[in-house]
Amino acid sequence: QAKQQGREGLAIYENHLERRATYRSQVETRMRLALEQGAFELHYQPLVRTQDTNRIAGAEALLRWHDKELGTIPPDEFIDVAEETGLIVPLGDWVLEQACRDLAAWRAEGLHIPRVSVNVSGHQLLDDRLPRTLAQALKRHGLPPTAIELEITETTLMEREKGSLPLLQQLRDLGVGIAVDDFGTGYSSLSKIKHLPVTVLKIDRSFIQDIFTDDNDKAIIIAIVAMAHQLQLRTVAEGVETPEQLAFLRDNGCDLSQGYLHSRPCSATALRDLLRAAPRDQT
Ligand code: C2E
Ligand code: MG
Ligand code: MG
Ligand code: MG
């Protein structure tokens, strides 16, 4: 009886794995096509100053993909497949190019936005061509390097620390900013962060969400902000959804805020409209 059940369980599990593998290869095929056909889109979410939330201090570029057969697939899902298949390299190149193009178009219109942040995944940090690709994209669009900030998750930074350090340093030497994304979830030690060429810490959404339910999270945020400022790093809070969360962050010295409270990620056109309406931010 037990043996019978075990066999059935295994069959269900194998079936599950098979379906998953099929789905993955479907996603891969459709993703190749989407790259060729230009079906990916970049949306943007503004970053505002906690001291004056009318000022837009930057925007994060976020990939969006709606596929005719598979429907809308969230980035967390297709980025995984892109990483496993190596498609992340051409996709990542496209993201950098598109972000530079959008930013240059806004600037050409006289709209000022200090910088655009672009997410970079672990696989992209294995590619020696990245600094050149980025430098060329900046040059092509007449942008200073300070206009781009690269976001790398804390976990990726810690995993790839040794191998990627020279590449990270090359990117930093170009003059682009480097943000540690989802900070606080990756168990990195202060001494490690200190030796990395980074300019910004983005406090993970999970801490912001629990500010008023978990005293530890309050303490952690206060400690991260203090530590960041000691190290001359700017701080960004992600996933800010309520005025109370914003007030806490502002009162405790966090520099920038990003989240649904201010704006959901929106199309490039919608961001342009927000920029037109916002007072100019000089930083
Ligand atoms: P991330 O870089 O940490 O991006 C922030 C995520 O939080 C975004 O999810 C954003 O829509 C969401 N978010 C923003 N404000 C709020 C809020 O107030 N509440 C809540 N609940 N969520 C909020 P999204 O767009 O689904 O992206 C998920 C992840 O996919 C990103 O996390 C990033 O790791 C990855 N990703 C997105 N675009 C790219 C890309 O171009 N390249 C790479 N390598 N990864 C990307
Ligand atoms: Mg990010
Ligand atoms: Mg994040
Ligand atoms: Mg994330």
Q: Which residues sit with their C-beta closer than 6 Å to ligand 1?
A: 45, 62-63, 74-76, 79, 95, 119-121, 151, 181-182, 205, 238-241, 259-260, 265
SS3 for 141? Answer: coil
Q: Atom 42 (ligand 1): residue with closest C-alpha?
A: 119
**Average pLDDT, integer, range 72-96:** 96
The tens digit of pLDDT for each residue in 6-60 reads 788 888 888 888 888 888 999 999 999 999 999 999 999 999 999 999 999 999 9
Close Cβ partners of 15 (under 8 Å, ≥ 6 residues apart):
none
Shortest-distance atom of ligand 1 to CA 74: 26
- Residue 10 phi, psi dihedral angles, 5° rounding: -65, -40
For the whole model, what pTM was predicted? 0.94
ipTM of the complex: 0.98
Cα(182) to ligand 4 centroid in Å equals 6
Cα(9) to ligand 4 centroid in Å equals 33
Shortest-distance atom of ligand 1 to CA 45: 14
Residue 78, judged by CB atoms within 10 A of its CB (0-12, 13-18, 19+), counts as buried
**Average pLDDT, integer, range 271-281:** 90
The tens digit of pLDDT for each residue in 127-179 reads 999 999 999 999 999 999 999 999 999 999 988 767 788 999 999 999 999 99
The tens digit of pLDDT for each residue in 193-220 reads 888 999 999 999 999 999 999 999 999 9
Close Cβ partners of 207 (under 8 Å, ≥ 6 residues apart):
184, 217, 220, 221, 224
